[in-house]
Chains A and B, each alone.
Chain A
Amino acid sequence: EDQVTQSPEALRLQEGESSSLNCSYTVSGLRGLFWYRQDPGKGPEFLFTLYSAGEEKEKERLKATLTKKESFLHITAPKPEDSATYLCAVQTTDSWGKFQFGAGTQVVVTP
């Protein structure tokens, strides 16, 4: 059975304190892995898509990487505005239309 697990569930950081979020997955065949950011009371907002092991994507203070079993979202020198819940999702080669999300990591960055 396909499974997506995110850790930690919650993360509290001081401004400037870099850290990483983990998304581990067990799927029959990976078509793509997606990272989203969700602010309270809003819908998720797309960040990155990764397709193959070794791939990396960057956007401002965020960098996403992918291995054959997991993905990391690195937050470098975070600012309070980076506070949000970060979600990862996988899409398998079995069905293009199906997406499976992890439970998310809630990140709080304090000044």
Chain B
Amino acid sequence: EAQVTQNPRYLITVTGKKLTVTCSQNMNHEYMSWYRQDPGLGLRQIYYSMNVEVTDKGDVPEGYKVSRKEKRNFPLILESPSPNQTSLYFCASTTYGGNEQFFGPGTRLTVL
């Protein structure tokens, strides 16, 4: 089954404790992206990657890091999480030049 998976689905952590949210897709897509979703603000793009070893900032990259060492994986790293990073995070992927982004199920992160 074609899908985007994220882990963990739920995470409660404390300020300053480094964490990684994994994202994996099995569709051989070149493009992957991370978004955060907050009430009233919609989806905001954090980082995206056009292909392996190619990443670029979205609209809200501060406090986040990403890497793209393999085509199927695009982890999101919070090196020192803060409460304002409490949010619902989505990973998405598509083919290069594609229209339809396939979204993962989301990761709900709470930073205390």
Contacts and interface: CB of A to CB of B under 8 A. Distances in A.
Nearest to A88: B42
A89 B99 CA distance: 11
B49 to A, nearest CB: 8
Chain B interface size band reads 20 to 34
A44 B31 contact: no
Interface string A85-106: 0010100000111111111100
Given A42-B106, A44-B90, A103 B33 contact: no
A87 B42 CA distance: 8
B43 A44 contact: yes
Contact of B103 (A45, A49, A100): A45
B46 to A, nearest CB: 11
Contacts of B43: 44, 87, 89, 101
Given A43-B105, A46-B100, A98 B45 contact: yes
Nearest to B99: A49
Main secondary structure of the interface of A (DSSP, over half): loop
Interface residues of A, number: 22
Contact of A99 (B33, B56, B97, B102): B33
Contacts of B56: 95, 97
Given A34-B101, A99-B101, 12 more contacts: A42-B105, A43-B90, A43-B103, A46-B99, A87-B42, A96-B50, A96-B97, A97-B50, A98-B48, A98-B58, A100-B59, A101-B44
27 contacts: A34-B101, A41-B106, A42-B105, A43-B90, A43-B92, A43-B103, A43-B104, A44-B90, A45-B103, A46-B100, A46-B101, A87-B42, A89-B43, A95-B56, A96-B50, A97-B48, A98-B45, A98-B48, A98-B59, A99-B33, A99-B45, A99-B101, A100-B45, A101-B35, A101-B44, A103-B40, A103-B41
